[in-house]
């Protein structure tokens, strides 16, 4: 069974909208673990507009499952992860002001850079994963960098799923076969949701882990609202 790592960046975004510490990301992470999720993912960006570097330090102290830290390995990011030593670092080629990740690495063009970064992570005993598009050549070259895993960028799967699920998954099946044959672990993430996750997991049996944030937090709001509203109505009686 693939493991679920919950990306809690959106909880930090909500907190940052007001100042203060509500919602508390550390408390939320503990609850998420207590409900059965097998990991917590954070994506600190250099401008700290979602998760802050200090959150990552605090989370490392309390997380009892797996901590996955995603990001572009700029100096401040590498300083953070080599201090925190999370279980896994996922390398993502996002620029500083990017709204969200929108492509995988070009593992051919950035081969030397990725190899160097992954070597550094290995020296600290950190598992590495490279965010890639579902393109066999990119995956073969990810292996040559020394990475332990790839994370398949699932945006195109998610956006085409409703129209033609079989067609949407085809490139991912092929990519997962290439990765599994070469011994790379397989993670996946971006725009996965309750609507599309089951079909993805069924068709990619080699899947090790999914990291899900945006849809999962939105779905939690929808599901949780009925409980909270009835509690308010009770108090107002």
Q: At which residue do the structure tokens 């960028």 appear? A: 153
Q: Cβ(209)–Cβ(39) under 8 Å? A: yes
Q: Is 83 in the site for ligand PXP (CB under 6 A)?
A: no
* 25 part of the interface to ligand PXP, by CB under 6 A: no
Residue pair 66/33 in contact (Cβ under 8 Å)? The answer is no
Compute the half-sphere exposure of residue 150: CA atoms within 13 Å on the CB side of its CA.
33
Active site includes 209? no
How many other β-carbons are positioned within 10 Å of the β-carbon of residue 109?
Answer: 10
Of 21-29, 109-117, 120-128, 208-216, the window that binds ligand PXP (rule: CB under 6 A) is 208-216
Active-site annotation holder among 33, 50, 66, 190: 190
- Return the residue nearest ligand PXP (CB atom): 189
Q: Which of 83, 98, 100, 231 binds ligand PXP (CB under 6 A)?
A: 100
- Looking at the Cβ atoms of 100 and 231, the one nearer to ligand PXP is 100
The interface region with ligand PXP, picked from 119-127, 132-140, 195-203, 213-221 by CB under 6 A, is 213-221
User: Coil, helix or strand for 146?
Assistant: coil
* 214 catalytic per annotation: no
User: How many CA atoms lie within 13 Å of 188's alpha carbon, on the beta-carbon side?
Assistant: 28
> Stretches 55-63, 78-86, 106-114, 183-191: which one binds ligand PXP (CB under 6 A)?
183-191
Note whether 69 and 81 are within 8 A (CB): yes
Cβ closer to ligand PXP: 142 or 229? 142
Q: Is residue 209 within the footprint of ligand PXP (CB under 6 A)?
A: no
> Residue 90 interacts with ligand PXP (CB under 6 A)?
yes
What's the CA gap between 159 and 174, in Å, rounded?
Answer: 18
Q: Rounded to a whole number, what is the distance in angstroms from the first to the last CA of the chain?
A: 46
Burial of 47 (0-12, 13-18, 19+ CB in 10 A): exposed
Report the nearest approach of ligand PXP to the CB of residue 204 (Å): 15
> Can you read off the two tokens belonging to residue 139?
């995956």
Which C-beta is closer to ligand PXP: that of 131 or that of 172? 131
Annotation marks residue 70 as catalytic: yes
Residue from 88, 101, 128, 175 touching ligand PXP (CB under 6 A): that is 101
Q: By CB under 6 A, what part of segment 136-165 binds ligand PXP?
A: 151
Tokens of 69: 């830290």
Contact between 43 and ligand PXP per CB under 6 A: yes
The burial of 36, by beta-carbon neighbours within 10 Å (0-12 exposed, 13-18 middle, 19 or more buried), is given as exposed
Give catalytic residue positions.
43, 70, 190
Point out which residues bind ligand PXP (CB under 6 A): 7, 9, 43, 70, 90, 92, 100-101, 131, 151, 189-192, 211-215
């Amino acid at each position: 069974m693939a493991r679920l790592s919950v990306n809690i960046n959106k909880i930090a975004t909500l907190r940052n909208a007001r100042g203060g510490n509500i919602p508390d990301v550390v408390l939320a992470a503990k609850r998420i673990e207590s409900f059965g999720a097998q990991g917590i993912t954070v994506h600190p960006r250099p401008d700290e507009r979602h998760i802050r570097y200090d959150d990552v330090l605090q989370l490392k102290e309390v997380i009892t499952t797996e901590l996955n830290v995603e990001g572009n390995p700029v100096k401040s990011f590498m300083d953070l992860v080599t201090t925190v030593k999370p279980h896994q670092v996922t390398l993502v080629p996002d620029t500083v002001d990017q709204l969200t990740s929108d492509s995988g690495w070009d593992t051919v063009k950035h081969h030397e850079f990725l190899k160097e970064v992954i070597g550094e992570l290995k020296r600290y005993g950190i598992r590495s994963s490279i965010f890639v598009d579902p393109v066999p050549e990119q995956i073969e070259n990810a292996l040559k960098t020394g990475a332990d895993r790839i994370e398949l960028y699932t945006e195109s799967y998610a956006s085409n799923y409703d129209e033609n699920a079989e067609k949407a998954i085809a490139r991912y099946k092929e990519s997962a076969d290439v990765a599994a044959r070469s011994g790379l672990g397989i993670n996946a993430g971006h725009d996965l949701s309750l609507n599309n996750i089951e079909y993805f997991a069924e068709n990619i049996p080699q899947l090790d882990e999914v990291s899900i944030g945006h849809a999962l937090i939105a779905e939690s709001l929808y599901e949780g609202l009925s409980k909270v509203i009835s509690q308010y109505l009770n108090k107002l009686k």
